Structure 1
Amino acid sequence: KTAGHPLHVLRIVASNDAADASVRQSAAVHFKNIVRRGWDEHAEGGTDGIVISPADRDLIKRNLVELMCTVPPRIQSQCSESISLVAAVDFPKNWDNLLPELIQKFDS
């Protein structure tokens, strides 16, 4: 509910040495729940007071696929679900590079 909170949580998920695996996994679950409750500003039930700024949304979308490809499998599944939640709201109109980025990651 604090400005920048989703990005702070995502940094914990991405940290390789700063946090142990269980902390990173918990952060990934928390991030997924933030996205689930707060990404769709037009959701019927509202955003539960969660505000994700446009700048934070852009940064999240620019980094989420790469993050999913670099984290351990337990964390990867949470990142994958977060991508699905964001894509359900933003793809294709507001996340037009998602498909090319996924294709590039799978090709490499």
Structure 2
Amino acid sequence: MEWNQQTLEFLSNCFLHTLCPSPEPRRLAEALLLEASHSPNYGLAVLHLVTEPSVDKQIRQAAVINFKNHLRCRWAPSEETTPIPDSEKIQTQFSEALAIIDNHDFPRSWPALLPELVSSLHKASQASDYASINGILGTANSIFKKFRYQFKTNDLWLDLKYCLDNFSAPLLEIFLKTAALIDSSSSSANSSPLGPLFESQRLCCRSFYSLNFQELPQFFEDHMKEWMTEFRKYLISD
């Protein structure tokens, strides 16, 4: 689906009619959106609509909800849905997409997002699936970036506390697990590719930086030794 004026008008009309109290136009709009959702780049087109300031706020809110459902369907597919192929480009697009939603909708209107990411990270970690792990960490990194650039406000502090409460421990857990895998792979004659492991560590470090940007949280102060031991190792490694 190409983003142009025709697409803007089509999606705007569809989302407008999904808000219609009459069932017939609402069902027709929902059917058109369902059909369109199978088109390439549908999700990105909806995101363009969400960020288009000229579009009515109610339409943009309907688009956000539609995108969340579209994302959830593709991110954690059921047997009836077709999963999105596992590729770095697609993971990057969806990480950026979630970051856009973050500015409008997270965490107050989407409180389940971070727990879902933590649950997915735990499952991927158990399977040592670093394609999924890095996709999840990339998503978290995109969400947490705002803590580097926004001024301190009560709302920002509440969002930061929510992220710290949910993600600090899982972040340290995957960081230490990956560090151990790197150590064992480096000393093994038949070492597995280290690229995905170091990419995981890079993403962990970026989230570490974002979550510690405003001030040093208690959790990270309590676990400073674990973090700094690994940081020192990487700094002095050849």
Q: Give me the TM-score of the superposition, normalised by structure 2.
A: 0.30
- Residue 89 (structure 1) shift: 1.3
| Correspondence for 1:101 | 116
- Which letter maps to 2:37? R
Larger Rg over CA atoms: 2
Q: 1:91 aligns with which of 93, 102, 106?
A: 106
Q: Tell me, yes or no, if the aligned pair for 2:47 and 2:97 is still in contact at 8 Å.
A: yes
Tell me, which stretches of 5 or more residues in structure 2 are unaligned?
1-11, 16-28, 77-82, 124-238
| Correspondence for 1:40 | none
Task: Provide the C-alpha distance between the structure 1 equivalents of 2:115 and 2:56, rounded to a whole number of angstroms.
Answer: 33
- The reply to whether residue 3 of structure 1 matches residue 29 of structure 2 is no
- Residue 47 (structure 1) shift: 4.1
- Residue 10 (structure 1) shift: 6.9
Q: Relative to structure 1, is the Cα distance of residues 52 and 11 closer, same or farther in structure 2, using a 3 angstrom cutoff?
A: same
- The reply to whether residue 79 of structure 1 matches residue 94 of structure 2 is yes
- Which letter maps to 1:2? N
- Residue 79 (structure 1) shift: 2.4
Q: Tell me, yes or no, if the aligned pair for 1:32 and 1:82 is still in contact at 8 Å.
A: yes
Task: Provide the C-alpha distance between the structure 1 equivalents of 2:90 and 2:36, rounded to a whole number of angstroms.
Answer: 11
Q: Give me the TM-score of the superposition, normalised by structure 1.
A: 0.56
Task: Provide the C-alpha distance between the structure 2 equivalents of 1:76 and 1:82, rounded to a whole number of angstroms.
Answer: 10
Task: Provide the C-alpha distance between the structure 2 equivalents of 1:34 and 1:47, rounded to a whole number of angstroms.
Answer: 9
Tell me, which stretches of 5 or more residues in structure 1 are unaligned?
13-22, 38-45
Q: Tell me, yes or no, if the aligned pair for 2:49 and 2:60 is still in contact at 8 Å.
A: no
Q: Relative to structure 1, is the Cα distance of residues 92 and 29 closer, same or farther in structure 2, using a 3 angstrom cutoff?
A: closer
Q: Relative to structure 1, is the Cα distance of residues 97 and 75 closer, same or farther in structure 2, using a 3 angstrom cutoff?
A: same
| Correspondence for 2:134 | none
Task: Provide the C-alpha distance between the structure 2 equivalents of 1:79 and 1:93, rounded to a whole number of angstroms.
Answer: 20
User: Number of residues paired by the alignment?
Assistant: 88
Where relative contact order (Cα < 8 A, 6+ residues apart) is larger, the structure is 1
Task: Provide the C-alpha distance between the structure 2 equivalents of 1:2 and 1:10, rounded to a whole number of angstroms.
Answer: 13
User: How high is the sequence identity, in percent, across the aligned residues?
Assistant: 22
